[in-house]
Chain A
Amino acid sequence: MTHTLHREGSEESLRDDYVLVITGAKGYNKKGCAPRLREMMRVVSKFTPINLGCMEVGNTGRGVPVSEIIRNARNSDLVQVVFDDKERVIEALRALKEADQGISVVVSCNNDDIVEIVRRAGVGEMPHTSNLSLGFMGKVERAASEDERLITTMCGHHMVSKSLVGHHVRRIREGSTTPLEAAIDMSRQCTCGAFNTVRAAHILEELANKE
C-alpha cells in the first residue's frame, strides 16, 4: 500500500507531518522478524509519537495501549509511527540506527527535509530509495473538495469519508465537539495508525473558522 504518499496540503502544513513505516521484506528478512519489530517499537515509543500501531493489531489512535501493540506484533506486520516534530524524528531514527535491527524504515515527510534528516540522524548521506506523488488525473470533479482532501488523504486507505469531514466541521461550528475530539474520532477509522491526529485537529479548526 502507498499509505502516506498522496497526503495533500501546503508545504507549510505538511511540515508537522512525519510517518515512519517499519516492515520486514518477504523472502529476505520477514520470517522471524517479529522480535525485531517489537524492539524497534520499544525504541521509537520513547520519543512520544502521536500515533503508533500495526494494521491488524491496532493503534494508539484507536485506543490500544502501546504495550499491547508491541506484545501482539507479528512477522507480517507493518508498523506505522506518526510524529509532528522533525527533531523527534531525527532522534528516533538515530536510536533506530543504534538499535541495528536490520529491518527497513521509511520516512514520509517533505522531500526538501529528507536529506537533512538522514544526515543529522547519522543514517547516511541520502535516502536509499524515494517514492514521489505526481498527483491525480481523470474525473477530478468526482473527488472530494481540496479542503476535504486535506483530511481524507491522511488515511491512505481512504477510510475517512468526506461526509465525516463535513459532519465534524458542522459540529465544531455548533460547539458540540472540539477539533481534537473530532480528529480523534476520525483517527479511529484509520486502521493502520498513519493518521496524524494533531495535524487533523489544526485543519479542522481552520475549516470550521472558514466562512
Chain B
Amino acid sequence: MVYIVRDLCVGCGKCAVYCPVQAITPGEKAFVDQEKCVECSTCIRAGCPVDALRQPHLKPPRLVRKLFSDPLARFDQTDVPGRGTEEMKTNDVTNNFDHGEVGWGVELGRPGVSTKFVDVEKVAMAVARHGVRFTDLNPVSMILDYSTGRFTEDNPWKIDPSSIRRLRSLSAIIEFKTPIEKIPEVIGSLREVSKEIDTVFSIGVITRWSDGVMEVTSYLESAGVEPRPNGKHNVGLGRRGYTQEGS
C-alpha cells in the first residue's frame, strides 16, 4: 500500500494535488488515508521531489484495488491494459455485438469518484435480474456469479465475497449485453439502483448501424434518455486472417 516516509517528506503537498481520489492529506508531513487510497500509483508517477512515496508489492485482496485502478496494471486474462475489455473496439473483427443486440458498460465510480465494491455488486444484481449476458474476460465478470450478479468465491484470487465487498477502486466496469428491446427496462433498473449506492456510475451503450442510423436510437428515446453528443465509432477497417492468429 502507498505510504509516505515521514522522515523524508518535506510537506510540499504535491502528491495530494495529483491524487485523483483525495486520499492524501497535505501538511507538515503528508498522510495517506488507506481506506480511500485505490493504489492507482498516480502520486508515484507525479514524481515526489524528495522520493518519499513508497508502494510495496501488493498481495490480494489489496492487489485487487491496484488492478482495478492503475491503468498500467494488467489483467493477464483479458490481455488488455487497463480495467476494461476490447468491447466494441474490435467488433468489426469479433462481431461480439450483432444486429438487434445492445452492449452495456456500466462503470461504477466514474467520473472520478471511486467506488466501494459493495456498490458494484448492488448494480450487478440489479441488471442480472434481466437475464443479461455478462461479458467474459471482463475483470468484474471474473468475480461475479452470472445468474445472480452476486460476488463468488470462484474468482482468480479466491477471495471471500465479504472481503471483495470491502474493496475500493477508482472504477469498475460491469459489461454485458441484452436484446435491444430490453433497453427501457434495464435503464429503469439502473435508475432505481442509482438511489441505493454511495457513488456514481457512467453508462455507455454499444450499437450496430442499419439503414444509416444507430439501431438503439428509437429505444433510447422511448426510455427517455438522450445520449451525449460525442461517442466512439468503429469504422470497420479490421479484418480476420491478417496475422498468425487469423483463421
Contacts and interface: CB of A to CB of B under 8 A. Distances in A.
Interface of A: 1-11, 14, 17, 21, 23-33, 36, 55-56, 76-78, 93, 96-97, 101-112, 114-115, 117-118, 121, 123-140, 142-144, 149, 152-153, 157-164, 167, 188-189, 191-192
B231 A28 contact: no
B49 to A, nearest CB: 14
A103 B110 contact: no
Interface stretch (B2-10, B50-58, B86-94, B155-163): B86-94
Contacts of A2: 84, 87, 105, 107, 173, 202, 204, 232
Contacts of A23: 86, 89-90
Nearest to A162: B112
B230 A164 contact: no
B18 A161 contact: yes
Given A2-B84, A123-B236, A161 B19 contact: yes
A159 B42 contact: yes
Interface stretch (B27-35, B127-135, B145-153, B205-213): B205-213
A24 B94 CA distance: 10
Contacts of A77: 81
A93 to B, nearest CB: 7
A31 to B, nearest CB: 4
B232 A161 contact: no
Contacts of A25: 86, 90, 93-94, 238
Contacts of A31: 243-245
The 8 closest A-B pairs by CB, nearest first: A104-B238, A102-B242, A1-B84, A25-B90, A32-B244, A128-B236, A31-B245, A102-B239
A63 to B, nearest CB: 13
B18 A108 contact: no
A130 B231 contact: yes
A133 B111 CA distance: 12
B19 A163 contact: yes
Given A29-B241, A111-B230, A167-B17, A1 B90 contact: no
Interface residues of B, number: 86
Given A1-B82, A127-B233, A152-B111, A104 B92 contact: yes
B191 interface: yes
Contacts of A3: 84, 232
A136 B232 contact: no
B198 interface: yes
B227 A143 contact: no
Contact of A132 (B40, B80, B214, B235): B214
Contact of B201 (A27, A96, A136, A161): A136
A128 B209 contact: yes
A131 B204 contact: yes
A126 B202 contact: no
Instruction: Identify the interface centre among B79, B80, B208, B243: most chain A CB within 10 Å of its CB.
Output: B243
A133 B200 contact: no
B71 A191 contact: yes
A1 B83 contact: yes
Contacts of A117: 235
Contacts of B18: 161, 163-164, 189
Given A27-B245, A136-B111, A161-B18, A129 B200 contact: no
A114 B227 CA distance: 15
Instruction: Identify the interface centre among B45, B228, B239: most chain A CB within 10 Å of its CB.
Output: B228
A59 to B, nearest CB: 12
Nearest to A127: B233
Given A6-B204, A23-B86, A101-B242, 7 more contacts: A78-B80, A106-B88, A111-B230, A111-B233, A126-B212, A129-B88, A158-B112
A101 B237 CA distance: 8
A105 to B, nearest CB: 5
Contacts of A137: 190-191, 194, 200-201, 203
Contact of B238 (A10, A102, A115, A130): A102
A177 B42 CA distance: 22
A184 to B, nearest CB: 14
A130 B191 contact: no
Contact of A107 (B107, B235, B246): B235
Given A32-B243, A163-B17, A164-B18, A130 B81 contact: no
